[in-house]
Every structure is written in structure tokens, then in C-alpha cells.
Amino acid sequence: MAHAYRAGAGGVVTKSIGPKPREGYPNPTVEQLGSWGMLNAMGLPNPGMEEYPKEIQEALGAGAVVVGSLFGGDTEEFASLARRMEATGVHALELNLSCPHAKGYGSEIGQDPVELAQVVRAVKSATHVPVWAKITPNTHDPALLAEAAEKAGADAITAINTVRAMAIDPVLRRPVLANELGGLSGPAIKPIGLAAVWKIFERVRIPIVGVGGISSGRDAFEYLLAGARALEVGTAVATRGIQVFREVHEELAGYLEKAHFRSVAEAVGAAHRR
């Protein structure tokens, strides 16, 4: 996290943290899909909320803006984790309501607007830092989930998480990932993320954090035009390297200048205006 921040990221989001240490699924957990991106089913591996503050301290010590990502199995677990995460000194919380395959977690909770709202409401009343609801694209109407999160008091929507997907090995005639199903990230999901951000921008007033297939200034610019006001980059760190943050910044600045936008804010949602 400190390394990403020093490399030019405006902030860092942690891997999602749960109540207890979790090994995750056995290998294979990741499959590279060439120019499409990456397929993964890690199984939410993490050192647990007791151990994790040490890592956050290192990131904060490096001066990073840190967003603590959480996953819980129910409302109470989310609220109690949120309290503990807030106490580490993170600047905001991101609720993982969208992991596409972990039994009892993520999108199993976050695909239902009623359950999603309960989690957001509980976390909001337990904490004081901004709360971002990370929603799933694996539903007929992601904007409905975003609306539910906004009504429940979320301060921002993060869209999107990975798209449920799989790979099959034709020689073994078996799924590639040990978990069978996984989440697709990278270039292939950019159009899906753009469509989600586009629809959410029409329906909610809180800021949207755009994520999904951003690996260049052009991708970043498109997400801003669709309605995002901050951006996250994940998979492109594996393909372009840690300098991706600085490169995306520089390339984006070029797009903003060419379009005569004087600030990022002026570009946000600009594709909606005729």
C-alpha cells in the first residue's frame, strides 16, 4: 500500500478484511486471460481484523490516504468490523457487498437491496468516517443497489466489483479455478463498469468511485465522463506495473486539457450533457 502511494496513487484501498484470519481457497486461484484481463477466486484471504492494523499503520506512516475494505456475513459483523477498522485511523470505509463467489458474503448480501441497506445503515450508525458501498455488477439493475445504499446513508458508491466468470481447461476438461467460479477483472469489464456508472449517475446524487478495467488515461477519462469522480485501478498494476498510477494521471491530464476541462470536477458526468 505504501509502495502504491509512493508510486503516485491518490489513495489506497485495502484487501477486504473480515473478523478472523482466512486462508482463502486452494490454488489455482488466479488465471491470466491475456488481453481480456484476469480471472480470480481468492476466497477473501486476509489476516483478520486483529492482525491487520499493523499493515494499515505502515501505509498511514507512509502518508497514504487509506480506505479500509470490509466483508462481513451479517449486519452485526459488518458494524463491529467497521468500528474496529475506523479505530485504525483509516480515512474511509469501503463495504465489500459484491465479491461474486464467497458463500455467505459479498454479493450474496449485496444483491438484495434490503439486506444491503441494512448493512449500510448499521455501519453508518456505528462509525463517523465516510462509508463507500461497493456494489456488484452481477444483477439486473446495479443502479437499484446504488439507490438503496444512498437512501441508507452511504457517502459514496464504488462501482463495479468483478463480473462472475469462469475458465475451463480443455485438456483436463475441468474448471481452471479450484473454486470453479471466479470474478473477471481488467479490460474486458470496462464497458460493463461504464454502463453501471452511467446508470448510477442518473439515479444517485452521492459521488461514484469508478472501477473496472482502468489501465490508461483514456479509460480514466471515459469513467469521469460517465459520472465517476474518483477512480480505482487494480488489475492494471499487474499488467502495466506500479507506475500505472503516475501514467494514468499524466495521460488523464492530457485528455482533460485537450477537452478544455479546467478540473476533474468539470468532466464528471459530462457525457450526459448535450
Catalytic annotation, residues: 99
The answer to the question of residue 184 lying near ligand DHB (CB under 6 A) is: no
Rounded-to-integer distance, Cα 159 and Cα 134, Å: 6
Sole binder of ligand DHB in the list 127, 158, 161, 235 (CB under 6 A):
161
CB of 189 to ligand DHB, least distance (A): 10
* CB-CB contact of 245 with 253 (8 Å): no
Instruction: Check residue 140 and report its DSSP letter.
Output: S
| Element holding 103 (H helix, E strand) | none
Please confirm whether the linkage preceding 135 is cis (ω < 30° from 0).
no
Choices 78-86, 99-107, 118-126, 227-235 (CB under 6 A): range interacting with ligand DHB = 99-107
The answer to the question of residue 183 lying near ligand DHB (CB under 6 A) is: yes
Max Cα-Cα span within the chain? 55
In the chain the first and final C-alpha atoms are separated, in Å, by 40
CB of 100 to ligand DHB, least distance (A): 6
Sole binder of ligand DHB in the list 18, 19, 37, 43 (CB under 6 A):
43
- The string of DSSP letters for 225-252 reads HHT-SEEE--HHHHHH-TTHHHHHHHHH
CB of 142 to ligand DHB, least distance (A): 14
CB of 83 to ligand DHB, least distance (A): 21
The answer to the question of residue 44 lying near ligand DHB (CB under 6 A) is: yes
Q: Which residue's CB is nearer to ligand DHB, number 42 or number 228?
A: 42
Pick out residues in 2-41 that bind ligand DHB (CB under 6 A): 16, 40-41
The helix/strand/coil state of 108 is helix
* CB-CB contact of 216 with 225 (8 Å): no
The count of residues interacting with ligand DHB (CB under 6 A) is 13
Contacts with ligand DHB, residue ranges (CB under 6 A): 16, 40-44, 96, 99-100, 106, 161-162, 183
